Each structure stands twice: as C-alpha cells, then as structure tokens.
C-alpha cells in the first residue's frame, strides 16, 4: 500500500498532539468518521486521489464535509494539503484509530461462529479473549456454518479454536492413528 509508512507517521504525530492537548478521544471520533466516509463515498475517495482536482478544491470540500471536526483534525487536513499528501487522509485516519486503540489497551479480533452471536455468548467470548490476551478486546462476528458449533477466536496472530468441527477432526485423527 503506497504511502502506508507516511500515513503511520502522520497518525503518530496527530495522536501525540491530540494526547498533549487531551483531545485524543474527540479526534478518534473524527478519524472514525473520516475513515468511514472516505471508504463508503466513492466520489470523495476518487476526488482525493485525483491529480486533476486542485488542492484548494479538495480542501474546500473536506472542510465543508468535516466542518464539525476538532481543530486538531482540521489542522491535519491543512498539513496534508500543504504537503501534497491529502490522498493519504483515509489511511491516516484508519492508522490513527488503530494507534489510539493500542494506546488504550484495546485489541481487535474476529470470532467465527455457526450462528450470530447472542449477547450472552458474546460476553463469554469477550471474557475468554480477555483471559487469553490480558487486554480489552473488541470482536467482529463472522458467520460460517461449516464450523457446526462453538467458535473460533482470532486476535492478532493468536487463534483459539473451540469449534465443533475442530473437535470432530481431532477425534477423527485420534481414531485413525490408533
């Protein structure tokens, strides 16, 4: 991904500035909005990537769309425009969210289940995730009927497989070896 290193540097700088100003939470909310808006709005994304659209037009559009943003967020837009890196705005926003979550001790993971998670089951999965990592974990639910039951929890490079399909495969392996 072109510009990923630059996006991380900008995100770190904004997080540092926002933390110093005690506005990191507010800026995080702004960055989530920016990342989602750019991701979901094809026209905005294409405009930011276009070398034909002048920087002044890009800045005017962004200041209009994100007019209710914190001054630190608006300063980021100014800096990216000045440095001709406004095409990185979506990446910077996404990286900021990730860095912010890491600074708060929050990890993200996925939990694969055969059916949608109920509130009670989600609470159990989150408790298991906290026990495994020692951190607060937010999970995204992926539904895969092939696991038959139970769940598969993935956090970073760690995987906890408590699926019925996995247990059946383990039993099958045991019986075929004996």
Question: How is the chain classified by DSSP, letter by letter?
Answer: -TTHHHHHHHHHHHHHHHHHTT-HHHHHHHHHHHHHHHHH-HHHHHHHH-SSS-HHHHHHHHHHHTTTS-HHHHHHHHHHHHTT-GGGHHHHHHHHHHHHHHHTTEEEEEEEESSPPPHHHHHHHHHHHHHHHSSEEEEEEEE-GGG-SEEEEEETTEEEEEEHHHHHHHHHHHHHH-
Domain final residue pick, 102, 130, 159: 102
Tell me: do 129 and 93 sit in the same domain. Answer: no
Report how far residue 105's alpha carbon sits from residue 148's, in angstroms, rounded to the nearest whole number: 32
pLDDT at 150 over 90: no
Domain count, the chain: 2
Same domain, 87 and 112: no
For residues 56 and 28, membership in a common domain is answered with yes
User: Could you tell me if 168 and 82 lie in one domain?
Assistant: no
The arithmetic mean of pLDDT across residues 12-25, rounded, is 95
Banded model confidence at residue 138, pLDDT cuts 50, 70, 90:
confident
- pLDDT tens-place string over residues 92-108: 999 999 899 889 888 88
Domain that holds residue 23: 4-102
The answer, yes or no, to whether residue 10 has pLDDT greater than 80, is: yes
- pLDDT, the chain, mean: 90
Are both 115 and 94 inside the same structural domain? no
Using 50, 70 and 90 to split pLDDT, how confident is the model at 178? low
Query: What does the pLDDT look like over 154-172, one tens digit per residue?
Result: 988 888 888 888 888 889 9
45 with 129, same domain: the answer is: no
Please identify, among 68, 102, 136, the residue that sits at the C-terminal boundary of a domain: 102
Last residue of a domain, one of 67, 102, 137: 102
Q: Tell me the pLDDT band of 47, cut-offs 50, 70 and 90.
A: very high
Share of the chain above pLDDT 90, in %: 57
Q: Are residues 122 and 87 in the same domain?
A: no
Residues 40, 83 share a domain:
yes
């Amino acid at each position: 991904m072109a510009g990923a290193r630059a996006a991380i540097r900008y995100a770190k700088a904004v997080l540092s500035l926002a933390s110093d100003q005690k506005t990191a939470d507010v800026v995080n909310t702004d960055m989530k909005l920016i990342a989602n808006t750019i991701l979901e709005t094809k026209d905005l994304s294409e405009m930011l990537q276009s070398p034909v659209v002048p920087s002044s037009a890009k800045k005017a559009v962004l200041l209009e769309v994100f007019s209710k943003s914190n001054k630190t967020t608006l300063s980021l837009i100014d800096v990216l425009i000045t440095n001709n890196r406004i095409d990185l705005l979506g990446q910077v926003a996404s990286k900021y969210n990730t860095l912010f979550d890491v600074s708060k001790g929050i990890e993200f993971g996925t939990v694969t289940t055969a059916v949608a998670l109920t509130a009670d089951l989600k609470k159990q999965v989150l408790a298991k995730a906290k026990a495994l990592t020692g951190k607060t974990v937010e999970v995204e639910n992926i539904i895969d009927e092939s696991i038959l039951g139970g769940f598969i929890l993935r956090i970073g490079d760690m995987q906890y497989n408590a699926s019925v399909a996995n247990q059946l495969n383990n039993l099958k392996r045991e019986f075929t070896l004996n």
